[in-house]
Amino acid sequence: MHRSTPRCLSRMTLRIFGASLFFSHMLFAQSSVAQSAMVESPLSNQEREIINWVAEQEDEMVALLERLTNINTGTLNKAGVTEVIGLLNTELLQLGFDSRSLAGDVIDMPSCPGSEYTLDVADHLLATKAGEGKRLLMIGHVDTVFPLDSPFQTFSREGDIAYGPGVSDMKGGLVVMLYALKALNHFGELEDKAISILLNSDEEVGSLSSRKYVEQQAALHDYGLVYESSGNNRLTRARKGLGQARFVVNGRASHAGGAHQQGRSAIKELAYKIVQIENMTDYESGVTVNVGVINGGEARNTIAPCAEALVDLRYPEPQQGLDAVKRWEEIFSSVYSYPVDSGELSTNSWTSLHRPPKIPTEQSDLLLNKTIAIGKLLGQELTVTDSGGGTDGSLTQAAGLPTLDSLGSDGTGAHSKREQGRISSLVERAQLSVVLIGRLAKQP
Ligand SMILES: [Zn+2]
């Protein structure tokens, strides 16, 4: 049974206690960050040349986005995920990176008989390049939430809008990332820079396998740049933490007519537990819990021997995550539905606080404001938002790496068949990254 350790969360609680109090009061309206009027020096002639070159690559960028989108990379589709990682690896090797695979994992989850659930995660990729100046870690995920049997599989385009699974979350971001690197390389500006690229294959299931690699790399770099979508031209400043639980109630099957009293209904117990779990939601403190999937039972006239549920948790502060898991454990170990249990009612559970909250720091705000200021130089009006969703940027930021995590293309409708991306944002965001990478690398 796989269980995430809360160790780094507790450490973080101490380190950012002050920030965390502040955080809970400002959360999840439009971010109220006191944006310093950061002034960036005007674009140099070379920066202008590079961004002009990026603009000329739009057709190629769209072609790559179409190609990547048409390869299904639902997290559990290992073949598709591996194909896309291989394709990007080839490009990175041509740019002078060294690369190696980082082993994926097989993670078994508790489940009822017949609904076995195993996460078999494809290998991830780390590409590195030695250089001078600040060390930059660029992160992107190749997986999407759309499995092989989803009806939403292909890229299409209408004018400036692209449609397709992952066009904005985040195959658009992968294209942005790659073309920013290609542009720097074309002008001889990549060679001297210390840049690592981490492409993971399991972000959409919470980076359960890649988390350790993301955190290891965070410790080896100076800035984290995550290429999740900049939906509606917004950069994300703060994010809630995420947790999840999967639990299975085992009861005793019996005939619903002939031997009702001998049965122990797993569905009945599950229902009681669901009420307890749903009652943990507290909008005031920002903690929300959602029982998103349930499954169980065998037949109308059989007392259910097994039932299971999948639970989502969102929390603004690290301690709230730890408290929620403690409460879950109480609920899982209690029996609510039968006053005297025969001992045949039991619960197996798996829990994970897979994303810590992303709590802004002075350094991450400087990075955010620098990016907005560079955006202005390029005529891009970027605004700031907070989010209830997590990314790998939450992991790197919690590990102490100042991280900006919405550097990918502009788009909306992620995780739905309405997913779409603004084509012209591919060039815009690659231009933004080119200037940002160049200037960050040169920082003293
Ligand atoms: Zn994503």
* One-character DSSP codes across 265-321: -HHHHHHHHHHHHHTT-BTTTTBEEEEEEEEE-S-TTEE-SEEEEEEEEEESSHHHH
Residue 178 tokens read as 């790659």
Its pTM stands at 0.89
Q: 168 C-alpha vs ligand 1 centroid, how far in Å?
A: 8
Q: What is the residue range of 417's domain?
A: 31-240+357-441
Domain stops at, among 355, 377, 406? 355
Say how many CA atoms lie within 13 Å of 226 toward its Cβ. Answer: 29
Q: 347 C-alpha vs ligand 1 centroid, how far in Å?
A: 32
Per-residue pLDDT of the chain (444 residues; tens, 9 = 90+): 333 333 333 333 333 333 333 343 344 444 545 455 678 999 999 999 999 999 999 999 999 999 999 999 999 999 999 999 999 999 999 999 999 999 999 999 999 999 888 899 999 999 999 999 999 999 999 999 999 999 999 999 999 999 999 999 999 999 999 999 999 999 999 999 999 999 999 999 999 999 999 999 999 999 999 999 999 999 999 999 999 999 999 999 999 999 999 999 999 999 999 999 999 999 999 999 999 999 999 999 999 999 999 999 999 999 999 999 999 999 999 999 987 656 689 999 999 999 999 999 999 999 999 999 999 999 999 999 999 888 999 999 999 999 999 999 999 999 999 999 999 999 999 999 999 999 999 998
Q: Give the count of domains, the chain.
A: 2
Q: 253 C-alpha vs ligand 1 centroid, how far in Å?
A: 42
CATH assignment at residue 380: 3.40.630.10
Q: 134 C-alpha vs ligand 1 centroid, how far in Å?
A: 26
Do 210 and 288 sit in the same domain of this protein?
Answer: no
Do 396 and 338 sit in the same domain of this protein?
Answer: no
Q: 36 C-alpha vs ligand 1 centroid, how far in Å?
A: 29
Q: Which residues pair with 254 in a beta bridge?
A: 303
Q: 442 C-alpha vs ligand 1 centroid, how far in Å?
A: 29
Q: 345 C-alpha vs ligand 1 centroid, how far in Å?
A: 39
Do 320 and 308 sit in the same domain of this protein?
Answer: yes
Q: 203 C-alpha vs ligand 1 centroid, how far in Å?
A: 7
CATH assignment at residue 275: 3.30.70.360
Handedness of CA 91, 399, 81, 54 (dihedral sign): negative
In a domain, 121, yes or no: yes
Domain stops at, among 295, 327, 355? 355
Burial 332-343 (b: 16+ CB within 10 A, else e): beebebbeeeee
Q: 406 C-alpha vs ligand 1 centroid, how far in Å?
A: 10
Q: 374 C-alpha vs ligand 1 centroid, how far in Å?
A: 24
